[in-house]
Structure 1
Amino acid sequence: MKHYLLSVVTPSEGEPPSPEALEQIMRNVDGFHQELQQAGARVFAGGLSSPTTATVVRAKDGDTMLTDGPYIEGKEYLGGLCIIKAPDPDAALDWGRKAARAITLPIEVRPFEGEAEG
Structure 2
Amino acid sequence: MKYLLMICTDEDFDAPQDELDPTAWVEEMDRRGVRLFGDGLRPPGEATTVRVRDGSVVLTDGPFTETKEQIGGIDVIECADLDEAVEVAARHPMARFGMIEVRPFWS
Structure 1 and Structure 2 fold alike (TM over 0.5): yes
2:25 maps to 32
Q: 1:58 Cα deviation (Å)?
A: 1.5
State the Cα RMSD in Å: 1.5
Q: Does 1:91 align with 2:84?
A: yes
Q: Which runs of 5+ in 2 are unaligned?
A: none
Of all paired residues, the percent bearing the same amino acid is: 35
2-side partners of 1:7 and 1:58: how far apart?
Answer: 22
Question: Would you tell me which structure has more helix in proportion to its own residues?
Answer: 1
2-side partners of 1:16 and 1:66: how far apart?
Answer: 33
Q: 1:10 Cα deviation (Å)?
A: 0.9
1-side partners of 2:13 and 2:103: how far apart?
Answer: 28
TM-score (norm: length of structure 1): 0.79
1:79 maps to 72
1:80-117 Cα shifts (integer Å, max 9, x gaps):
11110001111111101111xx223211112112x3xx
Q: Quickly say closer, same or farther: Cα 1:48–1:106, change in 2 above 3 A.
A: same
Q: Which runs of 5+ in 1 are unaligned?
A: none
Q: Does 1:53 align with 2:46?
A: yes
Q: 1:70 Cα deviation (Å)?
A: 1.3
TM-score (norm: length of structure 2): 0.87
Q: Which 4+ residue blocks in structure 1 deviate beyond 4 angstroms?
A: none
1:11-70 Cα shifts (integer Å, max 9, x gaps):
02x3444xxx214421xx111011111111111111111111111112133331222111
2-side partners of 1:108 and 1:43: how far apart?
Answer: 17
2-side partners of 1:15 and 1:38: how far apart?
Answer: 30
